Amino acid sequence: MPTSPSTAASLYDRVRRVIPPIEWPAFTDDIDAILALKRERNAVILAHNYQTPEIFHCVADIVGDSLALARKAMSVDADVIVLAGVHFMAETAKLLNPGKTVLIPDLAAGCSLADSITAADVRLMRQRYPAVPVVTYVNTSAAVKAESDICCTSGNALQVVESLGAPRVIMLPDEYLAKNIAAQTKVEIIAWKGHCEVHERFSPADIRELREAHPGVTVLAHPECPPEVVAEADFAGSTAAMSDYVGRHKPARVVLMTECSMSDNVAVEHPEVDFVRPCNLCPHMKRITLANIRAALEENRHIVTIDPDVAERARHTVERMLAV
């Protein structure tokens, strides 16, 4: 039920630098339908920074990194939340909005980090390291969160670890995030062996080649990258922190060692910055499309549900994080 055919057309100006004119007509029908469906269903769309620009800039109501999406999910005033991102993000939104309908447009939008650990693994770690607090990255299932003491994201991991006042913490499941945090704190960190399949592929050699090919380029890296990559970057931070860095420093030329859509989305806001793009695609994030967001709203699918006992315990770990 598209409203006015001009609704989507008026949005093109925003994304013209990153979506070629020849591709735009393929999006307009879905954009108009989604904007109308949001009004009809009193729905909001939360989109992660890795969503493609036609989602991020044209239909999303709330955008950001995992931490911002979790925080903003707490104050959503809508009946329906569509999570344009991966499954753990939709679960987090549901944990914080138990009374609302939370939809994920594709149930297979997973995450290699979330898949690297189970609730039973966390229980084993607790047996092995009794009384050591467990800090769990938000990129995990609700069942894993339920076995943990507190969550963290890449945006607050150091603060969360230090907030516990413990000499040692277990940090699950991202080995590289754990090592990157260990380099910044006196707290001893016990890590797991999970990796992000997107960020583990960047290497220090990539950075050296980029610096040679683009003298003066500023290199920003996500802390899910291996520590040797972070060590060679000019700055490391969450997706929101990288975006803020570009806004604050306005480097003439920048490269973001992260998922591909991130550069497109930040480039829209900063036309004066030249983005070099040796990115890696996240196949899970890319499962979300305008077509399946539209279908989610039309057919009320896929509804995110969490076992009430798991949800109660997992919510506590997320709320504890948000209170830090």
Q: Shortest approach of ligand SF4 to residue 13 CB, angstroms? A: 29
SS3 249: helix
Are 88 and 111 spatial neighbours (Cβ–Cβ below 8 Å)?
yes
Task: Between 32 and 264, name the residue whose CB sits nearer to ligand 13P.
Answer: 264
Among 152, 220, 257, 285, binds ligand SF4 (CB under 6 A): 285
| 112 contacts ligand SF4 (rule: CB under 6 A) | yes
CA distance 262 to 256: 8
CA distance 137 to 111: 12
Task: Between 217 and 285, name the residue whose CB sits nearer to ligand SF4.
Answer: 285
Task: Between 81 and 177, name the residue whose CB sits nearer to ligand 13P.
Answer: 177
Chain positions 122 to 181 lying near ligand SF4, rule: CB under 6 A, are: 139
Binding mask 223-252 for ligand 13P (x = CB under 6 A): -x-------------xx-------------
Are 105 and 293 spatial neighbours (Cβ–Cβ below 8 Å)?
yes
| 65 contacts ligand 13P (rule: CB under 6 A) | yes
Crossing angle (nearest 10°) for helices 87-96 and 308-323: 90
Q: Shortest approach of ligand 13P to residue 282 CB, angstroms? A: 7
| 198 contacts ligand SF4 (rule: CB under 6 A) | yes
Q: Shortest approach of ligand 13P to residue 64 CB, angstroms? A: 7
- How many residues make contact with ligand 13P (CB under 6 A)? 13
Per-residue CA distances from 164 to 122, 161, 167, 169, 311 (Å): 18, 6, 9, 9, 23
Helix spans in 152-281 (H): 157-163, 175-182, 204-213, 227-232, 239-249, 260-269
Per-residue CA distances from 277 to 44, 250, 259, 280 (Å): 31, 17, 10, 9
| 86 contacts ligand SF4 (rule: CB under 6 A) | yes
Residues in the site for ligand 13P, rule: CB under 6 A?
49, 65-67, 139, 153-155, 196, 222, 224, 238-239
